[in-house]
Structure 1
Amino acid sequence: MEAMTASGIDYTIFFYNPNIHPEHEYILRKEENIRFAEKHHIPFIDADYDRDNWFERAKGMEWEPERGARCTMCFDMRFERTALYAHEHGFPVMTSSLGISRWKDMKQINGCGERATAPYEDVSYWDFNWRKKGGSARMLDISKREKFYKQEYCGCAYSLRDTNTHRRSRGRPAIELGKEFYGYEEAHEDKK
């Protein structure tokens, strides 16, 4: 949001994440977005939790690896919906913060965004590199300051399954949804 403000972009948060599973996780993530939007007076659009459609589209891709065809399908679905909304409501540009994560392929994300906006002459995709100039470190600083919920997997049921499998193979416990928040570990360290 700082980068968009610095670039003169007036923005709105469009929350469309039918991939997030289970519903408890979806609600946690949505509420964090709403809390931040309200605190900073940012317009917030809550799109449908279209999970049945997402699972239908994911059929046959349940075992695709992270950054594979399932992720492309997921980005395409979400960006297509965003581009349509932007077109129908007069938003000339759209972007996504997905690229801030080192776990994501920026070329894959940007390709999906560009494909989604291609049918609309009045909407373009801003392919800003969120990782440059300390973007990832800035994201962590903001997450700690805001005490954001710590998302320990991408969001979909298959990412949760695969992340937990990896954690168990390393002797770590499974993810406990709704338990980890940024900033709280530092507060506990300071009290020691």
Structure 2
Amino acid sequence: MPKVDYSLSGYERPVLTTPNGEKKLLMHSCCAPCAGEIMEALAASKIDTTIFFYNPNIHPKEEYELRKEENIRFAQKLGMDFVDADYDKENWFDRIKGQEDEPERGTRCTSCFDMRFEVTAQYAKDHGFDLISSTLGISRWKDMNQINGCGVRAANPYKGIAYWDFNWRKQGGSSRMLELSKREEFYQQEYCGCVYSLRDTNRWRESRGREKIERGIKFYQEAMESLDK
């Protein structure tokens, strides 16, 4: 079989359809780099999509604002509606209490996803959406089964609302995510988002003699240009 070109310039996007003909999608977004490829695919398929930015886990507030503004910038470029949800970090810390030392992909992450998807599903119910999904699953650093389980669980209490578990990684989705991030010069965050992932990532770096994360300075295109020199 000939090799398929999955790059942004070579990939002919298929027309996506919602699982059961749902009309309005509320897409929970964690950040512009993860969301970009998904948003572009949805726009190309003319699926009525609203981006829902609810991420009280992101620490500190300056990091949260930077990630949010990058996502708003791309939503505006595509003409997508964007919902700036509440940064209720105190509720997030209450939800995570006792799980501070759990590893990535452990129960702390499950609690975090549950909280974010529950709010997404409630907003969908209150504002006439019949389908929710999330950009979190496109990242190879995440457990897709864990994410989808949280999404389904959040949607289940609401009649008429489903969770779309589409695999955005397949057919080159993850590589196009990076390619699009470079094209758009998105901010390149270097940890998942929460204070504990920042702590653990810095501990890992220090154990290998690397410098700690310096937030707010690294962008995809700039990073690639520095590697080319």
TM-score (structure 1 length as normaliser):
0.95
Task: State the structure with bigger RCO (CA 8 A, min sep 6), 1 or 2.
Answer: 2
The equivalent of 1:113 in structure 2 is 151
- The alpha-carbon deviation at position 7 of structure 1 amounts to 5.0
The equivalent of 2:41 in structure 1 is 3
- Report how many aligned residue pairs link the two structures: 191
CA deviations on 1:58-110 (whole Å, 9 max, x unpaired) are 11000000000010000000000000000110111111010111110000000
CA distance in 2, matches of 1:114, 1:73: 14
The equivalent of 1:33 in structure 2 is 71
- Equivalent residue letter for 1:93: L
CA distance in 2, matches of 1:158, 1:35: 28
CA distance in 2, matches of 1:115, 1:6: 29
Question: Would the aligned equivalents of 2:40 and 2:78 in 1 still touch at CA under 8 Å?
Answer: no
- Counterpart of 2:204 (choices 151, 166, 173) is 166
Distance 1:60 1:189, change over 3 A: closer
The equivalent of 1:15 in structure 2 is 53
Q: Which runs of 5+ in 1 are unaligned?
A: none
User: Normalized per residue, which structure has more helix?
Assistant: 1
Matched, 1:76 2:114: yes
Q: Secondary structure at the match of 2:151?
A: helix
- The alpha-carbon deviation at position 8 of structure 1 amounts to 4.8
The equivalent of 2:189 in structure 1 is 151
The equivalent of 2:173 in structure 1 is 135
- The alpha-carbon deviation at position 5 of structure 1 amounts to 3.7
The equivalent of 2:10 in structure 1 is none
- The alpha-carbon deviation at position 37 of structure 1 amounts to 1.2
Aligned CA RMSD, in angstroms, stands at 1.3
Matched, 1:48 2:91: no
Distance 1:174 1:189, change over 3 A: closer
TM-score (structure 2 length as normaliser):
0.80
